[in-house]
Amino acid sequence: MSYSGGDGQTLGIVLTPKHITDLFCKLADLKDDDIVLDPCCGTGGFLISAMHEMVQKIKESNIGENSKQNKIKNIKQKQLHGIELQPYMFTIATTNMILRGDGKSNIINENFLSQESGTLQLKQANVGMMNPPYSQGSSQNSNLYELSFAKHLLDSLVEDGKGIIIVPQSCMTGKTEEEASLKEKILEKHTLEGVITLNKDTFYGVGTLPCIAVFTAHQPHPEDKLVKFINFEDDGYKVFPHIGLVETESAIDKKEHLLDVWFDRIDAESKFCVKSTVKPDDEWLHSFYYFNDEIPTKEEFDKTVADYITFMVNMMSHNRGHLFEGEENE
């Protein structure tokens, strides 16, 4: 992993960037007694970030040194759980965790979707983090849609647990009948808290437009609930030639602004955050709810057209067809 430059792509693995795994921990507002589950843990990135976040909270607490060591030991041995289907990924994940001093790796080499949600609830996980496999679902394999993984994760958490996923924006549109049905089933049992549209280069070189969705488990979604939809495409990370995605000096401030808006510490303009009620057949994205009444400049128009073309290519590459397929042209 070290000699591959830390991105894993020379090993044929697409990892969730560290700034995203760290952001998940902040969005979950991790406490030192939380129990974290990543059912598609890959190389263990979410679990490692969660471990570091919780251990740091213990170190900063005002308790005795012996109590700190006992709590840290408990975090490493009992509060981090992972599931990984691919044997080679599983090998890297367990090694990755052990090398970072987790003390005991609670990672199993199993198929998450074949695990009973009731059995998984016995782990008492109240925080779920996941980057599920992309573009595997179809009408013949509806259980492999990203939203199917999300539903199973939420079903596997304890009541009031927090589920956070990173998925392609295209799956938030509910284009297929199966995905629309999954969105409806999710809202019947769980609450959508918000969706954050991310930088298109987050998975640089992969060609996926990602977003983060945050849910509260086992609380049916209220019809009048205002859900946050945030446009975080300008996150302070830029692509530089021959280097890749690089953190700029503005990234920390932009992240803090996002968290301040997310936790209602400050208000934001609608071009950054829109709050709206939702329906299963809505597109759960900021662009669907945001209304821009400003006259665009030529540069903004050109960028919008380019973004739309990129979005449509992404839809097609994920086998979701044309956004307006079947509608009559005006």
Spatial distance between the Cα atoms of 66 and 78, rounded to a whole number of angstroms: 18
Task: Find tokens 């992972």 and name the residue.
Answer: 82
User: 249-253, 271-275, 308-312: which range is least confident on average?
Assistant: 308-312
Residues 6+ positions from 269 with CB-CB distance below 8 Å: none
CATH for 9-295, options being 3.20.20.150, 3.40.50.300, 3.30.930.10, 3.40.50.150: 3.40.50.150
Question: Is residue 126's pLDDT more than 80?
Answer: yes
| Residue 258, burial from CB neighbour count under 10 angstroms (0-12, 13-18, 19+) | buried
**Residue 100 pLDDT:** 73
H-state helical runs in 138-192 = 146-156, 177-189
Taken as a whole, the chain contains a residue count of 330
pLDDT 10s digits, 162-197? 999 999 998 898 778 888 899 999 999 999 999 999
Residue 314: name the closest of 172, 133, 168 by CA: 168
Which range has highest mean pLDDT (3-12, 156-165, 234-243)? 156-165
How many Cα atoms occupy the beta-carbon half-sphere of 198 within 13 Å?
24
User: 63-67, 170-174, 308-312, 325-329: which range is least confident on average?
Assistant: 325-329
Question: Is residue 11's pLDDT more than 60?
Answer: no
What pTM, to 2 d.p., does this model score? 0.85
Distances (CA, A) of 222 to 113, 128, 216, 291: 27, 21, 12, 24
Residue 175 CA, distance from chain mean position: 20
Residue 232: name the closest of 33, 79, 27 by CA: 27
**Residue 160 pLDDT:** 97
Once rounded to an integer, what is the mean pLDDT over residues 289-304?
84
Once rounded to an integer, what is the mean pLDDT over residues 1-19?
57
Domain ranges of the chain: 9-295
Are 22 and 49 in contact, with CB atoms under 8 Å apart? Answer: yes
Query: 227 φ, ψ to 5°?
Result: -95, 140
Mean model confidence pLDDT for the chain: 88
Spatial distance between the Cα atoms of 171 and 330, rounded to a whole number of angstroms: 27
pLDDT 10s digits, 77-117? 899 999 998 888 888 888 877 777 765 568 899 999 999 99
**Residue 103 pLDDT:** 54
